[in-house]
């Protein structure tokens, strides 16, 4: 039906890959946005009365049981919303075992089909159990895709574009009749259909192809992505570098995630897992899913003010997510995460204070501050954490366990997403403003752990990161090691001339002395010498 790679090469092909990756993350954000709006839609809560927490509905119960009924309905609401995240968690775990067998493209293909099935179940639901099952099925497919898409893109994007292209993923992550809620649920089928109908015509990951012994195909992909001839020295060097890595590292398995060999697999898995966990325990989905409810609680109940503010919040969130696209390769991953964590901690503290004044002291003006800082929190998160944590795990782990690690780290995102979405309605119903205090403390804790333990991955190739981790002695020196290790690619993503393998004898070995050397099997052997510190991370697909 279509020509191979749609006839695209170079930057145009990179952009096509990025668009499909972005569509998948759009589906992720689409569900969050739609679900938050449904919870405040009369036609939806009327159809599924078990989750209706409106005061008008609660007033139909005797006064002595209203609070317990509110807590019960809050629990049902949490289950309904969080069931999607549970499905995503299960899909991510499933990908650990099938990801490398199917390949990147086929995993995304089948994940998209599963999402369509789940969307159909949701939009045709007449009972709450069917709706919940539909959300679990949709989540399963999305869990498969979100475990695979960042890895697929990072392994096919050119080095100097990788960060900004994966940032684009995050940038798009973002009535009284039943059709008012059935149509939005059904509309996501369109995006999933675009993904599964095009994904098989785009390039497979060259690194996965080499893992499967399909080196000729890998060479072709490397060349077409870079828009260079297959015999170009840069392409040959890239191919040999990946081949060497694949040969040296034994076939990965789930057990490999917990090993601490010279490549420090478990160390890197923990960094990937924790980065995804941090994204969710920051409290972002407290706002993403429940924004209309939060604005209602402030007192904005008339004329659809709550829904309007929630929509404005989402728009502002989208705009803030646009910023990292332009700065990610200039400031790096660490600086964005540190910036986000600091701002999120302050925002949550202010939200706690304003909610306390409003609910405990009767200060209605405090509601204005609360509304403002819901926007402020989203800004810091959109810049610092929305997309960065989808890029970071793909950059930090060795090739042979990349599929398993990305699936595992993605499962962390979903299980902690499930936890936050599940407990927040109950927490607000029982401890009120103290819920925000908990998240303020968590974000304050995130800042120093990122500073001391998360190495920078900017402008590092996948194979370069393996070398860096081999030089690392412990979790405490990895940041220093990454900072001291010389870069082998320039600011434009071009391999420096002194690293291009011309076949001439090497003049030295890879050491932290600032000198440049070829990246080949001898380099990997010399990297066994562990100087005082270094652990870069970067999982980019490097090329001109």
Contact assessment for residue 468 and residue 481, using Cβ atoms and an 8 Å cutoff: yes
CA distance 539 to 165: 13
**Residue 28 pLDDT exceeds 50:** yes
pLDDT tier, 219 (very low <50, low <70, confident <90, very high otherwise): very high
Q: Which residues of 361-383 are buried (b: 16+ CB within 10 A; e: fewer)?
A: eeeeebbebbbebbbbbbbbbbb
Residue 148's nearest CA partner among 405, 392, 386 is: 405
Predicted pLDDT at 204: 94
Q: What are phi and psi of 461, to 5 degrees?
A: -80, 165
Predicted pLDDT at 542: 35
State the average pLDDT for the chain. 82
Largest CA distance in the chain: 87
Predicted pLDDT at 501: 61
As to burial, measured by CB atoms within 10 angstroms (0-12 exposed, 13-18 middle, 19+ buried), residue 268 is buried
Contact assessment for residue 394 and residue 406, using Cβ atoms and an 8 Å cutoff: yes
Q: How far, CA to CA in Å, does 40 sit from each of 305, 312, 414, 425, 492?
A: 11, 16, 24, 14, 48
pLDDT tier, 379 (very low <50, low <70, confident <90, very high otherwise): very high
Residue with tokens 């923990």: 270
Mind listing the pLDDT tens digit for each residue in 417-440?
999 988 988 898 889 899 999 999
Residue 334 corresponds to which tokens in the numbers above?
């660490």
> For the ranges 307-316, 339-348, 447-456, 525-534, which has the lowest average pLDDT?
525-534
Q: How far, CA to CA in Å, does 513 sit from each of 169, 470, 471?
A: 37, 16, 13
Predicted pLDDT at 249: 56
> For the ranges 96-100, 477-481, 513-517, 529-533, which has the lowest average pLDDT?
513-517
Mind listing the pLDDT tens digit for each residue in 486-502?
888 887 777 788 777 64
> For the ranges 179-183, 213-217, 383-387, which has the lowest average pLDDT?
179-183
pLDDT tier, 522 (very low <50, low <70, confident <90, very high otherwise): very low
pTM score of the predicted model: 0.73
More confidently predicted of 532 and 280: 280
User: Would you give the distance in Å from CA 40 to the centre of its chain?
Assistant: 27
More confidently predicted of 304 and 296: 296
pLDDT tier, 516 (very low <50, low <70, confident <90, very high otherwise): very low
Domain 4-204+249-453, CATH class in plain words: mainly alpha
pLDDT tier, 248 (very low <50, low <70, confident <90, very high otherwise): low
**Residue 377 pLDDT exceeds 80:** yes
For the chain, the 3-state helix, strand and coil shares in percent, each to the nearest 5, are: 75, 0, 25
What does the domain layout of the chain look like in residue ranges? 4-204+249-453, 462-526
Predicted pLDDT at 512: 34
Predicted pLDDT at 164: 54
Predicted pLDDT at 438: 97
pLDDT tier, 534 (very low <50, low <70, confident <90, very high otherwise): very low
**Residue 177 pLDDT exceeds 60:** no
Task: State mean pLDDT over 266-274.
Answer: 96
């Amino acid at each position: 039906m279509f020509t191979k790679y749609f006839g695209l090469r170079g930057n145009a092909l990179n952009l096509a890959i990025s668009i499909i990756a972005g569509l998948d993350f759009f589906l992720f954000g689409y569900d969050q946005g739609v679900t938050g709006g449904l919870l405040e839609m009369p036609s939806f809560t009327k159809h599924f009365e078990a989750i209706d927490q409106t005061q008008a509905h609660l007033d139909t119960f005797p006064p002595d049981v209203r609070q317990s009924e509110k807590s019960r309905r809050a629990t049902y609401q949490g289950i309904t919303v969080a069931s999607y995240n549970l499905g995503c968690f299960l899909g991510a775990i499933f990908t650990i075992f099938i990801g490398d067998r199917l390949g990147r493209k086929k995993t995304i293909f089948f994940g998209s089909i599963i999402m369509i099935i789940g969307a159909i179940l949701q939009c045709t639901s007449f009972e709450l159990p069917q709706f919940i099952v539909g959300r679990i099925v949709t989540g399963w497919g999305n869990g498969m895709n979100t475990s695979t898409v960042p890895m697929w893109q990072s392994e096919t994007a050119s080095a100097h574009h990788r960060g900004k292209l994966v940032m684009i993923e995050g940038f798009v992550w973002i009535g009284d009749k039943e059709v008012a809620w059935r149509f939005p649920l059904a509309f996501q089928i369109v995006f999933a259909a675009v993904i599964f109908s095009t994904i098989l015509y785009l390039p497979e990951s060259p690194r996965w192809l080499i893992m499967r012994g399909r080196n000729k195909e890998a060479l072709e992909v490397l060349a077409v992505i870079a828009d260079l001839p297959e015999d170009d020295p840069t392409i040959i060097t890239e191919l040999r570098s990946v081949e060497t890595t694949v040969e040296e590292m034994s076939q990965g398995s789930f057990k490999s995630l917990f090993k601490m060999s010279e490549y420090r697999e478990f160390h890197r898995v923990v960094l990937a897992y924790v980065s995804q966990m941090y994204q969710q325990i920051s409290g972002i989905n407290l706002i993403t899913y429940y924004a209309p409810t939060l604005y209602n609680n402030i007192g904005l109940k008339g004329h659809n003010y709550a829904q309007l503010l929630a929509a404005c919040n989402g728009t502002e969130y989208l705009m803030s997510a646009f910023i990292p696209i332009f700065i990610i390769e200039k400031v790096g991953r660490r600086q964005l995460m540190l910036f986000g964590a600091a701002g999120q901690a302050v925002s949550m503290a202010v939200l706690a204070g304003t909610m306390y004044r409003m609910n405990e002291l009767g200060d209605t003006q405090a509601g204005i501050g609360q509304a403002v800082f819901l926007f402020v929190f989203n800004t810091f998160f959109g810049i610092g954490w929305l997309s960065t944590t989808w890029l970071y795990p793909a950059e930090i782990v060795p090739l042979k366990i990349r599929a398993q690690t990305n699936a595992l780290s993605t499962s962390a995102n979903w299980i902690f997403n499930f936890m936050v979405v599940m407990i927040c309605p109950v927490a607000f119903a029982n401890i009120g403003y103290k819920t925000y205090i908990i998240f303020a403390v968590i974000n304050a804790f995130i800042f120093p752990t990122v500073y001391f333990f998360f190495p920078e991955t900017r402008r590092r190739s996948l194979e370069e990161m393996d070398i860096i981790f081999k030089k690392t002695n412990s979790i405490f020196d990895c940041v220093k090691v990454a900072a001291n290790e010389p870069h082998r690619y320039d600011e434009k993503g071009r391999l420096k001339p002194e690293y291009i393998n011309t076949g001439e004898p090497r003049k030295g070995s890879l050491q932290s002395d600032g000198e440049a050397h070829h990246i080949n099997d001898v380099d990997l052997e010399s990297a066994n010498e562990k100087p005082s510190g270094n652990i870069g991370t970067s999982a980019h697909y490097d090329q001109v």
